[in-house]
């Protein structure tokens, strides 16, 4: 079920609806009366293929609020206005949406959007805390452009991010507990680029999707997140995350070490170039018939993960990633075990890569190796599911 509140961001609920129906989900839309000032019922009916009502006095024999609430596998509220959060927190049931919220027994997730002052008001803070204390998910809004020319915290999370989190909750209803509250985490993501000349570089095929999923899930589990992002495919900045964009391995190294000084957890999900061209040409390298073809010589880049392990703060948890293909000398897991010993991190997330696996795809599978010798397989699932599994292991380590 997709509840829609009466805020300007209601138009983005259409994109969320589209994303959910396109991935095969059957969605009932329940807007508030106010939401229909922003988007007409016909739009929601056309996109969902179901009739749309706002009150409990239509189709009375169907007892809609009970039926919709009982049948739903997931309730999303997009956008959640301050008024809706208040009504939900206090159990009001004065329209179809709030009545349904009381009958739903599945996970319920609110995606807030409002002006910064409204989000920060003690009344809203208390309502959010009350809802969260009951296990209801209230996600962090994004920062950025609000309704008019103003900017600040209170912007609706990107629709793609909402669809992603919805898929996660449908697969794992308990994937977003607020168990990272008070933790500062640093995540590196994407692939670095090492310039050869002003127009060419050595790069890799990392999309950044796994690192972004880690950041998104950590932020929604309550962590304070810094995301050091090298090159990625076009991805929206995760809501509530401090994103720092970098390009080369050297820039990524500086940004990660700087952020790691205050971090409780550092996760190296970025695909960092092991080598960089020894010389960067100031001008575009030209081919020429009377000169020999150029030969590129490479210098080794520092191993950032190894440096982090060496300089770790007391109690700091460090997580590495390993992308392996396996070869005649050993399987993916054999190579990963050797790498884990060499790197000395607390956890190693192992992905099998190559032909359609891990890089540039939506789903991921692998293993989670822990320093105590445990090897936990991660079944094929979305990158958000892998992220949730990794954060579960990190939480277990914080309780040692
Ligand atoms: N890594 C790093 N600095 C580098 C290279 C890699 O911090 N210069 C980190 C990656 O972010 C990842 C882990 O090390 O968390 C393993 O990366 P991977 O490329 O699988 O391993 P390498 O150490 O580069 O080993 P190899 O390429 O020889 O398999």
pLDDT tens digits for range 362-396: 677 889 999 989 999 998 899 999 999 999 999 99
Could you report the per-residue pLDDT of 209-225, keeping only the tens digit for each?
999 999 999 999 999 99
More confident residue, 230 or 205: 230
Decide: helix, strand or coil at residue 212: helix
Q: Are 323 and 332 in contact (CB under 8 A)?
A: no
| Smallest CA separation from ligand 1 atom 20, residue | 322
Q: Which residue has the tokens 């209801």?
A: 136
Q: 204 an active-site residue? A: yes
> What residue ranges line ligand 1, CB within 6 angstroms?
249, 268, 270, 272, 274, 301, 303-305, 320-323
pLDDT tier for residue 399 given thresholds of 50, 70 and 90: confident
What's the CATH number for 2-171? 3.40.50.1950
Residue 228 in tokens: 């050091």
Query: Distance between CA 177 and CA 81 in Å, rounded?
Result: 22
Smallest CA-to-CA distance from 85 within 196, 5, 189 is with 5
- If you average pLDDT over every residue of the chain, what do you get? 94
Domains 2-171 and 184-398 alike in fold: yes
* Ligand 1 center to 111 CA (angstroms): 36
Q: Are 81 and 95 in contact (CB under 8 A)?
A: no
Domain boundaries, the chain: 2-171, 184-398
- Written out in words, the top-level CATH class of the domain with range 184-398 is alpha beta
Query: Distance between CA 68 and CA 45 in Å, rounded?
Result: 15
pTM over 0.75: yes
Q: Are 91 and 130 in contact (CB under 8 A)?
A: no
**Residue among 204, 301, 351, 364 flagged as catalytic:** 204
Q: Are 241 and 162 in contact (CB under 8 A)?
A: no
pLDDT at position 374 is: 92
């Amino acid at each position: 079920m997709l509840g829609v509140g009466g805020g300007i961001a209601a138009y983005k609920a259409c994109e969320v609806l589209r994303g959910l129906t396109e991935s095969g989900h059957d969605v009932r839309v329940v807007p508030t009366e106010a939401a229909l000032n922003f988007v007409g019922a016909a739009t929601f009916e056309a996109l969902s293929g179901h009739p749309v009502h706002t009150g409990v006095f239509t189709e009375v024999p169907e007892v809609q609020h009970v039926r919709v609430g009982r049948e739903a596998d997931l309730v999303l509220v997009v956008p959640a206005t301050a008024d809706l959060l208040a009504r939900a927190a206090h159990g009001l049931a004065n329209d179809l949406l709030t009545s349904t919220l009381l009958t739903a027994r599945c996970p319920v997730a609110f995606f807030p959007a409002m002006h910064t002052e409204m989000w920060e008001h003690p009344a809203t803070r208390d309502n959010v805390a009350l809802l969260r204390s009951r296990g209801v998910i209230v996600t962090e809004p994004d920062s950025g452009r609000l309704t008019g020319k103003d900017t600040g915290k209170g912007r609706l999370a990107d629709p793609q991010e909402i669809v992603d989190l919805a898929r996660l909750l449908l697969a794992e209803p308990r994937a977003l507990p607020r168990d990272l509250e008070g933790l500062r985490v640093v995540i590196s993501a994407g692939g670095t680029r090492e310039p050869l000349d002003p127009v060419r570089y050595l790069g890799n095929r990392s999309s950044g999707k796994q690192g972004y999923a880690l950041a998104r899930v950590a932020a929604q589990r309550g962590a304070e997140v810094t995301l050091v992002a090298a090159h990625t495919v076009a991805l929206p900045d995760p809501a509530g995350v401090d994103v720092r964009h970098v390009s080369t391995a050297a820039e990524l190294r500086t940004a990660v070490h700087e952020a790691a000084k205050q971090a409780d957890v550092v996760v190296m999900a970025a695909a960092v170039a092991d080598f960089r061209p020894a010389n960067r040409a100031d001008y575009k390298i030209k081919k020429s018939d009377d000169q020999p073809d150029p030969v590129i010589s490479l210098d080794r880049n520092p191993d950032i993960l190894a440096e982090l392990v060496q300089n770790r703060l007391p109690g700091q948890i460090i997580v590495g990633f390993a992308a392996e293909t396996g070869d005649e000398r050993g399987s993916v897991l054999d190579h990963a075990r050797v790498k884990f010993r060499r790197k000395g991190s607390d956890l190693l997330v192992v992905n099998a890569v190559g032909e359609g696996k891990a890089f540039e795809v939506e789903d991921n599978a692998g293993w989670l190796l822990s320093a105590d010798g445990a090897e936990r397989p991660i079944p094929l699932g979305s990158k958000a599911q892998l992220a949730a599994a990794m954060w579960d292991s990190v939480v277990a380590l914080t309780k040692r």
